[in-house]
């Protein structure tokens, strides 16, 4: 399938892989029957590759609903986005829609999807963060000209979703990996093992991703390996992660640390790219 240059991430996501594309793409197997991203987030690699057959998953329901709306109702979504304003009062009023679950339930899927894009473009640092009650809690970003309605990209992504065979799921990653047949390839980009106690970031959704979760993921990788499914996994280069995956190929790459909100602390950090193939 021919690639469309306009196809790109529609939301900025914590841990987005845009800056690592040059390191990751040469490591991807040349042949695969199905491409799978069970922790898709903003999908930097997925949108870059534009595979003709893909299984895409994330535990974040709002995100997966957004992708489904882009596939099914892109023009309605664009029309909704045109209604929003980049002002603090408007921002906080839209942000707080989910504080009233009864009201939130009455919103259409398109309206909820437009809210995700609007908040993502206008909130501080584009950080999608929810508190322990699952409410979006990032403050207003006060940016001059956020690109709230990127109609060309949204239409291109919609066209890609409709042309390719893309299945969307909103589950725990393990149940998606279980169904992959031999010959499939999975790129795994889970929440990272924290490099220090304070670097811990668990705000993707309710619940966290601690070390027991990292071990459960490594066990899933062992299972993929036994079943003849190729996998490539990104994570931080902690001793713990390197020990977990000692049986596989581990490559160190340098990434910019983007999560820290203090600019001076956004240095370069080591990340690992782990594969079960040459
Ligand atoms: C590091 S981010 C992925 C970033 C993505 N590669 C990008 O380019 O934007 C990790 C993602 O894993 C998702 N996630 C966390 N726990 C999960 C689970 N148990 N199953 C599936 N997805 C999960 C989060 O919602 C988040 O979107």
Torsion on CA atoms 84, 81, 122, 14, rounded to nearest 10: 160
Q: Name the residue with the closest Cα to ligand 1, atom 19.
A: 172
> What's the pLDDT at 187?
98
> What's the pLDDT at 164?
97
E strands, the chain, in order: 35-37, 53-57, 165-169, 185-188, 230-236, 249-256, 268-275
168 Cα to the center of ligand 1, angstroms: 14
> What's the pLDDT at 255?
87
> What's the pLDDT at 259?
54
> What's the pLDDT at 136?
85
Ligand 1 site-directed mutation target among 190, 219, 255, 273, most atoms within 8 Å of CB:
190
Q: Establish how many alpha carbons lie within 13 A of residue 170's alpha carbon, considering only the half-sphere containing its beta carbon.
A: 10
Structure tokens given for 257: 């640390």
> What's the pLDDT at 204?
45
Are 231 and 185 within 8 A, CB to CB?
yes
Nearest to 129 by CA among 32, 60, 189, 175: 60
> What's the pLDDT at 203?
44
225 Cα to the center of ligand 1, angstroms: 21
> What's the pLDDT at 39?
97
Calpha distance 15→44 (Å, rounded) = 10
CB distance 172 to ligand 1 below 6 Å: yes
Calpha distance 209→216 (Å, rounded) = 10
Report the chain's terminal Cα–Cα distance, integer Å: 25
* Residuewise pLDDT in 10s, the chain (278 residues): 899 999 999 999 888 888 899 999 999 999 999 999 999 999 999 999 999 999 999 999 999 999 999 999 999 999 999 999 999 999 999 999 999 999 999 999 999 999 999 999 999 988 777 777 778 889 999 999 999 999 999 999 999 999 999 999 999 999 999 999 999 999 999 999 988 755 555 444 445 789 999 999 999 999 999 999 999 999 999 999 999 999 999 999 998 765 555 555 567 889 999 999 99
199 Cα to the center of ligand 1, angstroms: 17
């Amino acid at each position: 399938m021919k690639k469309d240059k306009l196809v790109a991430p529609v939301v900025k996501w914590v841990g987005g892989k845009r800056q690592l594309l040059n390191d990751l793409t040469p490591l991807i197997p040349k042949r695969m029957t199905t491409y799978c991203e069970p922790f898709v987030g903003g999908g930097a690699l997925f949108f870059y590759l534009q595979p003709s057959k893909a299984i895409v998953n994330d535990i974040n329901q709002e995100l997966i609903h957004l992708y489904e709306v882009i596939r099914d109702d892109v023009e309605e979504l664009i029309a909704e986005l045109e209604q929003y304003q980049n002002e603090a009062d408007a921002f906080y009023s839209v942000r707080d829609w989910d504080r009233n679950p009864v009201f939130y339930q009455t919103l259409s899927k398109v309206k909820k999807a437009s809210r995700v894009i609007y908040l993502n473009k206008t909130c501080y640092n584009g950080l999608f963060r929810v508190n322990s009650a699952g409410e979006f809690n990032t403050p207003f970003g006060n940016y001059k000209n956020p690109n709230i309605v990127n109609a060309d990209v949204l239409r291109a992504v919609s066209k890609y979703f409709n042309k390719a065979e893309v299945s969307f799921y909103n589950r725990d990653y393990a149940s998606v990996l279980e169904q992959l047949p031999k010959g499939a390839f999975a790129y795994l980009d889970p929440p990272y093992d924290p490099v220090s106690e304070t670097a811990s970031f668990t705000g993707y959704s309710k619940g966290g991703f601690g070390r027991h979760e990292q071990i459960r993921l490594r066990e899933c990788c062992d299972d993929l390996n036994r079943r003849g499914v190729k996998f490539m996994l990104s994570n931080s280069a902690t001793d713990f992660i390197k020990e977990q995956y000692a049986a596989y190929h581990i490559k160190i790459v340098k990434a910019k640390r983007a999560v820290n909100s203090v600019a001076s602390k956004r240095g370069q950090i080591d990340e690992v790219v782990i594969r079960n193939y040459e």
